[in-house]
Structure 1
Amino acid sequence: MKLLAASLLSLAVSSAIAGTAPTFDPRQLSETVKTLSSDEFEGRAPASAGETRTVEYLTAQMRAAGLKPGGDLGADGKRGWTQAVPLLRAEIVGTPALSVAVNGQAQALAQGEQIAVRAALDGAKAVSIANAPLVFAGYGVKAPERNWDDFKGVDLRGKIAVVLINDPDFETGQGDFGGPAMTYYGRWTYKYEEAARQGALGLLIVHETAPASYGWATVKNSNTNTMFDVVREQPGAVHPRMEGWVQRDFAVDLFRRAGLDFDALKRQAQTRDFQPVALKGVTLSADYAVDSKVITSHNVVGRVEGRKRPNETVLYTGHWDHLGVGLPDAKGDRIYNGAVDNGTGMAALLALGRAFAHAKPQPDRSVVFLAVTAEEKGLLGSEYYASRPLYPLETTVGVINMDALSPQGPAHDFTISGSAKLELLDALVATAKRWDMRYTPDSKPEAGYFFRSDHFPFAKRGVPAISYGSGNDWVEGGVAAGKAAGERYTAERYHQPADQWEASWSFTGMTRELQVLYTLGSELANGKRWPNWDAGSEFRGARDASADQRR
Structure 2
Amino acid sequence: MRPFASVAALAVGLLLSACATMGDAPVTPAAFDAARLSEHARVLSDDSFQGRGIGTPAEDMVVRYLSEQYAAAGFQPGGENGGWTQDVTLNRFTASNVRAGLKVAGETIPLAQGQQIVVSTRLPGRQVMLADAPLVFVGYGIKAPERNWDDFKDVDVRGKVIVVLVNDADFEQPELNTFNGRAMTYYGRWTYKYEEAARQGAAGVIIVHETAPASYGWATVTNSWSGPQFDIVRENAAAERVRMESWIQRDVAVDLFRRAGLDFEALKTQARSRDFRPVELPGATFSGMFDVATSQIVTKNVIARMPGTTHPDETILYTAHWDHIGVGEPDASGDAIFNGAVDNATGTAGLLELARVWGAGPRPERSIVMISFTAEESGLLGSEYYAANPVWPLEKTVAGFNMDAMNVYGRVADLGVIGYGQSDLDERLAAAAARQGRTVAPDSNPAAGSYFRSDHFPLAKRGVPMAYAEGGGEFRDEPRAAREAARDEYGARRYHQADDEWSADWDLAGQIEDLEVAYWIGRDLADSRDWPGWKAGSEFGPARAASAAARR
Tell whether the structures are fold-level matches, with TM greater than 0.5: yes
Q: What is the deviation of 1:14?
A: 2.4
User: Which residue of structure 2 aligns with residue 429 of structure 1?
Assistant: 430
Is the aligned partner of 1:38 residue 2:39?
no
Matches within 5 A, 1:323-338: 323-338=325-340
Task: Supply the distance in 1 between the matched residues of 2:420 and 2:551 (Cα, whole angstroms).
Answer: 26
SS of the residue 2:41 aligns to: helix
1:460 matched residue in structure 2: 461
User: Does the CA contact (< 8 Å) of 2:125 and 2:294 recur in 1?
Assistant: yes
CA distance in structure 2 between the aligned counterparts of 1:310 and 1:535, rounded to whole angstroms? 29
1:134-176 alpha-carbon deviations (Å, 9 max, x no partner): 1100000011111111111212122100000001111111221
User: How many residues align structurally?
Assistant: 543
1:11 and 2:18 aligned? yes
> CA 1:389–1:359 in structure 2 vs 1: closer, same or farther (change >3 Å)?
same
The match for 2:73 is 65
Task: Letter of the 2:370 partner, please give it.
Answer: F
Offset at residue 372 of structure 1 (A): 0.3
1:334-372: CA deviation from partner (whole Å, max 9, x where unpaired): 111000000000000000011112212x00000000000
Provide the rounded CA distance (Å) in 2 between the counterparts of 1:470 and 1:481. Answer: 17
TM-aligned CA deviation for residue 464 of structure 1 = 0.3
CA distance in 2 between counterparts of 1:368 and 1:508 reads 25
Q: Does 1:86 align with 2:84?
A: no
Conserved? CA contact 1:3–1:476, under 8 Å: no
Aligned to 2:57: 49
Residues 349, 6 of structure 1: alpha-carbon distance in 2 compared, 3 angstrom cutoff: closer
**Which of the numbers 21, 27, 32 marks the counterpart of 1:20?**
27
Listed as ranges, the matches of 1:445-456 within 5 Å are 445-456=446-457
User: Cα–Cα, structure 1 residues 3 and 39, in superposed 2: closer, same or farther, change >3 Å?
Assistant: closer
2:306 to 293, 304, 307: 304
**How many angstroms apart in 1 are the aligned matches of 2:546 and 2:61?**
41
Counterpart of 2:259? 257
Q: Aligned partners of 2:482 and 2:543: how far apart in 1?
A: 41
Query: Aligned in 2, Cα 1:482/1:146: closer, same or farther, shift over 3 Å?
Result: farther
Letter in 1 for 2:43: T
2:376 is equivalent to residue 375 of structure 1: yes
Q: Which amino acid aligns with 2:46?
A: S
SS in structure 2 of the partner of residue 343 of structure 1 = helix
Aligned counterpart in structure 2 of residue 354 of structure 1, from 353, 356, 364: 356
Cα separation, 2, equivalents of 1:487 and 1:420: 26
RMSD: 1.7
User: How big is each residue's C-alpha offset from its partner over 1:92-151, in whole Å with a ceiling of 9 and x where there is no partner?
Assistant: 13x311111123322221111110112x21212211111111110000001111111111
Distance verdict in 2 for CA 1:542–1:483, change over 3 Å: farther
Equivalent residue number for residue 226 of structure 1:
228
Which position in structure 2 is the counterpart of 1:76?
A: none
Structure-2 change in CA distance of 1:528 and 1:150 (3 Å): same
- Where structure 2 has 5 or more consecutive residues not aligned to the other structure, the ranges are 1-5
Larger mean Cα displacement after TM superposition, 56-65 or 338-347: 56-65
Q: Is the 2:23–2:435 Cα contact (8 Å) retained in structure 1?
A: no
Q: Distance in 2 between the 1:194 and 1:347 partners?
A: 37
Taking the aligned partners of 2:144 and 2:450, their CA distance within structure 1 comes to: 21
Q: Deviations over 1:210-242 (max 9, x none)?
A: 100111111111111110111110112221100
What's the offset of the Cα at 1:333? 1.2
Q: How does 1:95-494 map to 2 (within 5 A)?
A: 95-118=97-120, 120-175=121-176, 176-360=178-362, 362-477=363-478, 483-494=484-495
Confirm or deny: 8 A CA contact 1:67 1:353 kept in the other structure.
yes
In 2: Cα distance, 1:464 partner to 1:499 partner:
31
Preserved CA contact (<8 Å) 2:312 2:365: yes
Letter in 2 for 1:19: P
Deviation at 1:429, TM superposition (A): 1.4
Task: Name the amino acid aligned to 1:524.
Answer: L
Question: Would you say 1:29 and 2:32 are equivalent positions?
Answer: no
Alpha-carbon separation, structure 1, partners of 2:465 and 2:538: 11
Structure 1 spans left out of the alignment, 5+ residues: 74-78
Deviation sequence 1:437-477 (CA, Å, 0-9, x none): 21111111111000001000011011101212222321125
Contact 1:46 1:373 in 2 (8 A): yes
Moved more, 365-374 or 49-58: 49-58
Distance 1:475 1:8, change over 3 A: farther
Q: Distance in 1 between matches of 2:514 and 2:20?
A: 15
How high is the TM-score relative to the length of structure 1?
0.96
Deviates further, 471-480 or 329-338: 471-480
Q: Is the CA contact (8 Å cut-off) linking 1:313 and 1:367 kept in structure 2?
A: yes
**Shift of the alpha carbon at 1:407?**
1.5
Partner letter of residue 26 of structure 2? Answer: G
Give the 3-state SS of the residue equivalent to 1:271 in structure 2: coil
What does residue 3 of structure 2 align with? Answer: none
TM-score by length of 2: 0.95
